[in-house]
Structure 1
Amino acid sequence: MKLTLGNFYVKEIVFGEKTSYNNGILTVNKEEALNVVKEDEHITFADLHIVKPGDSVRLCPVKEAIEPRYRVGGGPVFPGVTGELLQCGNGTTYALKDMSIIVVGKHYGGFQDGLIDMSGEGAKYTYYSQLKNLVLVADSDEEFERFEQQKKNKALRWAGMRLSEYIGACLKDLKPEEEEVFELEPLTKRSKEVNGLPSVALVLQPQSQMEEDGYNDLNYGWDTNHMLPTFMHPNEILDGALISGSFMPCSSKWATYDMQNFPMIRRLYEEHGKTINFAGIIMSNLNVALEQKERAALFVAQIAKSLGIDAAVVAEEGYGNPDADFIACIVALENAGVKTIGLTNECTGRDGASQPLVTLDEKANAIVSCGDVSDLIELPAMDLVLGELDALSRDGNSGGWDNDEKLGPSVRPDGSIIMENNGMFCGDRVVGWSTKTMVEF
């Protein structure tokens, strides 16, 4: 499979008469864009804002981030979700780089929704403070889940995807500023030199532990809870096959933007043919019952062994219950003779004294930590809040609270906040572009 990404680098976003891209300037017709958002009758309110790095702006509750794209030759950017099914990972897709579409709730949030600061101390905790962002602030009539801690957020998330396709379509007749080519030969057709290198697979465990439809990540529109582990081409992930769900505690989430740009996939591509033979993706899942977890781990190990994989990287979206899947997968791979490392965050509690993962094993002896979700952070007030800051404390957002005996309310009267960094939108960045470092004391 051969995927060409045609990149256009956004220097500035402005509102104007025609949605277009020219010399780094993305112009958005606000009225047309909002009409696209409101195609869903469940959207009761919508507005658009432009924010950039350094702005004194706080976004909360943040629900999703998406990179605007256009599939050359036609077809949906997210097959099986925003349109008919078609194969991802072949052909050409155009992308607007250095920007994203951010979806924010006008009022209510939940456990899976987070916070972004575009400047100050909080900006370093999330990748999205580095981007120029077109922010959709919206509300819906989905009253059945308004006061639920876990929300599917379907109307708002789908509105973000429609908006990203509308914006991306302005690239249709343009020539990219840069082209990136991602191509892997079939496993049985690679050269002797490539096959002589250590064969490496990336094992992905996207959020999939909710048995009810509507919460989990989707693979070609298929709820990942219903999947058995399977082999996929990395180009499929980079080209829209996988979209983010609406369940995982926010710092642990992989936004759709993360999946479209997955840095670990790109890094393995860089080493392919040099130091490793990048075999591809073993797509696994996170399960509910212990037997389901063990079954998935056995499937992953069998696929790896059958493909002749020498080493694997296992990446987990989340923590807590999913840790059992994560460790079981590493152990099964090690038992199959596959040298394995893990990528995950950890939850050691505010005092740092808790076990970092729910389950551990001596064979899981090479784990890269992407940070502790329980670290307390204090952030000053911002000049502008897009959304509703009270959602951080009122609605059970991961990282926030209504009142604490020692710390008081998470949201203070002056607009400053104290929270666990668990509430930072996609803050742990297990996908591979974390700026966090480890210090030895």
Structure 2
Amino acid sequence: MRLEIGNFYVRNIIFGEKLSFESGILTINKGEALTYIRADERITEAELYIAKPGDPIRICPVKEAIEPRVRPDGRGVFPGYTGDLERAGNGTVHALKNCSVLVVGRHWGGFQDGLIDMSGEGQKYTYFGQLNNIVLVADTNEVFEQREQQKKNDALRRAGHKLAEYIAQCVKELKPEETEVYDLDALIRRGEDVEKLPSVVYVMQPQSQMEELGYNDLVYGWDMNRMVPTVMHPNEILDGALVSGSFMPVSSKWSTYDFQNCPNIKALYREHGKTINFLGVIMSNLNVALEQKERAALFVAQIANTLGADGAVVAEEGYGNPDADFVGCIVALEDAGVKTVGISNECTGRDGQSQPLVTLDEKCDAIVSCGNVSELIELPPMEIVLGELEALGRDGLSGGWAADEKLGPSVREDGSIIMENNSMFCGDQVCGWSPKTMKEF
């Protein structure tokens, strides 16, 4: 399966008369784009903004991030979700790099929403502070979930994905600045020089804990709570087969942008044929009941053995309850003779003294930490706020609060904030972006 991603590097974004891309400048006709978004009758308010690195902008509550892409052959970018159900991972797609569409609530946030700073101390906490962002700030008529802690955010998330496809139309027929090629031979058709290398599989555990449809990550439009672990080609993940859901504390989330650009997959690709034989991806899930967790771990270990894996890398989206899936999967792989490395964040409390994972096992002896979700972050006021900062405290974002006996409210009268890392949008960057390192004291 061969995937070619044609890259167009966005150096600036402006609003103008015509949707276009020229010499690194992305021009968007705001009026036409908003008209396109408002075609969904559920959208009651919508506005577009531009947020670039260094701008004095704070964005909250952020719900989703998507890289603008288009397929020259006319197929949908997210099969089974925004387009017809077709196979992803093969062919050509054009992508606007250094750029994302951010979906932001105009009035209402929730447990799964977060914050992005485009400058200052807070910029470093999330990858999206480094990108040129088209920010869709909108509200919907989905009043039934406005005051709910967990929201499906269906209209807003779909609006973001459709907007990303709409914007990328401007590069559909252009020649890319560069082309990334991802080409992985079938498992039984690899040469001796590759097969003699250690065989490694990447195990992904996207968020799928909610039994009610509409919250979980989607694979080809299918709710991942309704599946058991299976094999996927890595190109499928890079090519729109997975869409982020609307569940889980937001620092732990994988946005759709993260799936489209998954650094862990790209790193394994780079080593394929050099130091490892990259077998592909075991797509697992995260469950609630113990039996479901054990079944998933059993499937993962069996698939790894069937593929002939010598080693595995396991990454979980989330923490807390999902830690049981994460640790159980690592233990099952180790018991099956597969040497395994885990990638996860930790929840060690504001003082750093609590148990890092809900459950532990001595066989989990190689885990990469992406930081503490409970780390306290204090930030000064920001000149511009896109969205509604009060959602950080009022609406129960995972790392914010209305009042605390010692710390007071998350959002102070002067616009400064105090919060846990929990509320940084995709801040733990478990999929491979994380720049964090360990220090000994």
What TM-score do the two structures reach when normalised by structure 1? 1.00
Structure 1 position 191, deviation (Å): 0.4
The one-letter code of the counterpart of 1:305 is: N
Q: Find the aligned partners of 2:148 and 2:371 in 1 and give their Cα distance.
A: 28
Structure 1 position 34, deviation (Å): 0.7
Give runs of aligned pairs for residues 66-215 of structure 1, distance below 5 A. 66-215=66-215
Q: Find the aligned partners of 1:37 and 1:93 in 2 and give their Cα distance.
A: 23
Q: Find the aligned partners of 2:412 and 2:172 in 1 and give their Cα distance.
A: 47
Structure 1 position 371, deviation (Å): 0.2
Per the alignment, residue 389 of structure 1 pairs with: 389
Per the alignment, residue 341 of structure 1 pairs with: 341
Give runs of aligned pairs for residues 272-287 of structure 1, distance below 5 A. 272-287=272-287
Listed one character per residue, the Cα deviations across residues 232-266 of structure 1 (whole Å, up to 9, x for unaligned) are 00000000000100001000000000000000000
Per the alignment, residue 362 of structure 1 pairs with: 362
Listed one character per residue, the Cα deviations across residues 52-88 of structure 1 (whole Å, up to 9, x for unaligned) are 0011100000000000000121111000000110110
Contact persistence 2:197–2:276 (CA under 8 A):
yes
For the pair 1:237 / 2:237, whether they are aligned, the reply is yes
Listed one character per residue, the Cα deviations across residues 10-69 of structure 1 (whole Å, up to 9, x for unaligned) are 010001111011110100011111112112100000000011001110000000000000
Structure 1 position 337, deviation (Å): 0.2
The one-letter code of the counterpart of 2:211 is: E
Per the alignment, residue 423 of structure 2 pairs with: 423
Q: Find the aligned partners of 1:94 and 1:334 in 2 and give their Cα distance.
A: 40
Per the alignment, residue 411 of structure 1 pairs with: 411
Per the alignment, residue 311 of structure 1 pairs with: 311
| Secondary structure in 2 matching 1:341 | strand
Listed one character per residue, the Cα deviations across residues 200-219 of structure 1 (whole Å, up to 9, x for unaligned) are 00000000000000000000
Q: Find the aligned partners of 1:159 and 1:134 in 2 and give their Cα distance.
A: 13
Per the alignment, residue 36 of structure 1 pairs with: 36
Per the alignment, residue 302 of structure 1 pairs with: 302
The one-letter code of the counterpart of 1:432 is: G
What TM-score do the two structures reach when normalised by structure 2? 1.00
| Secondary structure in 1 matching 2:301 | helix
Question: What is the number of residues matched between the two proteins?
Answer: 441
Per the alignment, residue 63 of structure 1 pairs with: 63
Contact persistence 2:72–2:173 (CA under 8 A):
no
| Secondary structure in 1 matching 2:27 | strand
**Structure 1: any 5+ residue segments left out of the alignment?**
none
Question: Root-mean-square deviation (CA), in Å?
Answer: 0.5
Structure 1 position 298, deviation (Å): 0.2
Q: Find the aligned partners of 1:5 and 1:259 in 2 and give their Cα distance.
A: 14
| Secondary structure in 2 matching 1:322 | helix
The one-letter code of the counterpart of 2:366 is: A
Contact persistence 2:103–2:157 (CA under 8 A):
yes
The one-letter code of the counterpart of 1:69 is: R
The one-letter code of the counterpart of 1:417 is: I
Per the alignment, residue 326 of structure 2 pairs with: 326
Q: Find the aligned partners of 1:39 and 1:69 in 2 and give their Cα distance.
A: 20
The one-letter code of the counterpart of 1:389 is: L
Q: Find the aligned partners of 2:17 and 2:296 in 1 and give their Cα distance.
A: 52
| Secondary structure in 2 matching 1:225 | helix
Structure 1 position 351, deviation (Å): 1.9
**Structure 2: any 5+ residue segments left out of the alignment?**
none
Structure 1 position 314, deviation (Å): 0.2
Contact persistence 2:391–2:397 (CA under 8 A):
yes
Per the alignment, residue 22 of structure 1 pairs with: 22
| Secondary structure in 1 matching 2:135 | strand
| Secondary structure in 2 matching 1:231 | strand
Structure 1 position 92, deviation (Å): 0.2
| Secondary structure in 1 matching 2:5 | strand
